[in-house]
């Protein structure tokens, strides 16, 4: 019998983990999702992660942390608390896999990635905090980008129109690619 494992993940990964059915396939695995907008408030993210990791440790659960570098020095943070961080700099690299991600950014280095969560909350996650309604600020922030790439996941509603509006607002072209969870599934299966 395997020891209980707690996967603490950013809410961005919920569609992928629901699709992979980890809890159904591995009864010893339990998932906890934290709000995806915590990356905007790293201090709150650190507090929430510390609390969830500590609670899991009190229950004698192995802890796997599914986060990118939304928290400064997250690798050391996880190590100090006895959690294993899933490799990857950010969620898109984890969702695409290193090879596919590298190919995309080598093909067009100025690629701005979107997922359903970011499309649905673009105003509050990006436009307002970065003051993108100011044309000059928007130009300064996005001038080096060449395209928007919407990474569509199997459970996404029809967001093409909304993704197009984001791309148009940023004065960038839109490309859509389908998510492939095989990389994430292999890493998580190995860790759990």
pLDDT tens digits, one per residue of 65-110: 999 998 889 999 999 999 999 998 888 998 888 899 999 999 999 9
Predicted pLDDT of residue 162:
97
* Averaged pLDDT of the chain: 94
Burial class from Cβ neighbours inside 10 Å (0-12, 13-18, 19+) for residue 39 reads buried
Predicted pLDDT of residue 2:
79
CA-CA distance, 180 to 52, in Å (whole number)?
Answer: 28
Q: Percentage of the chain surpassing pLDDT 70? A: 99
Predicted pLDDT of residue 6:
97
Average pLDDT for 13-20 = 94
* Contact of 188 with 20, CB cutoff 8 Å: yes
Predicted pLDDT of residue 53:
97
Predicted pLDDT of residue 180:
86
Q: Is the pTM of this model over 0.85?
A: yes
Predicted pLDDT of residue 1:
64
Q: How far is CA 62 from CA 2, 13, 27, 30, 125, in A?
A: 10, 19, 14, 10, 31
Q: How far is CA 163 from CA 119, 142, 159, in A?
A: 6, 16, 6
Q: Tell me: the pLDDT tens digits for 151-160?
A: 999 999 999 9
Average pLDDT for 101-130 = 94
Q: Is residue 172 very low, low, confident or very high in pLDDT (cuts 50, 70, 90)?
A: very high
Predicted pLDDT of residue 108:
94
């Amino acid at each position: 019998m395997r020891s209980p494992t707690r996967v603490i993940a950013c809410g961005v990964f919920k569609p992928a983990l629901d699709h992979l059915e980890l809890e159904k396939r591995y009864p010893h695995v339990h998932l906890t999702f934290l709000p995806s907008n915590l990356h905007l408030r790293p201090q709150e993210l650190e507090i929430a992660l510390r609390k969830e990791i500590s609670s899991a440790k009190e229950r004698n659960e192995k802890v796997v942390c599914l986060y990118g570098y939304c928290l400064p020095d997250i690798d050391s943070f996880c190590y100090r608390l006895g959690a294993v961080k899933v490799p990857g700099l950010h969620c898109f690299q984890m969702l695409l896999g290193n090879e596919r991600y590298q190919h995309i950014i080598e093909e067009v280095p100025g690629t701005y990635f979107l997922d359903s969560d970011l499309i649905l909350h673009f105003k509050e996650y990006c436009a307002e905090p970065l003051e993108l309604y100011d044309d000059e600020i928007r130009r300064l922030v996005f001038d080096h980008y060449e395209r928007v790439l919407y990474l569509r996941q199997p459970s996404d509603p029809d967001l093409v129109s909304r993704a197009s509006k984001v791309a148009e607002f940023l004065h960038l072209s839109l490309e859509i690619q389908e998510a492939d969870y095989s990389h994430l599934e292999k890493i998580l299966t190995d860790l759990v």
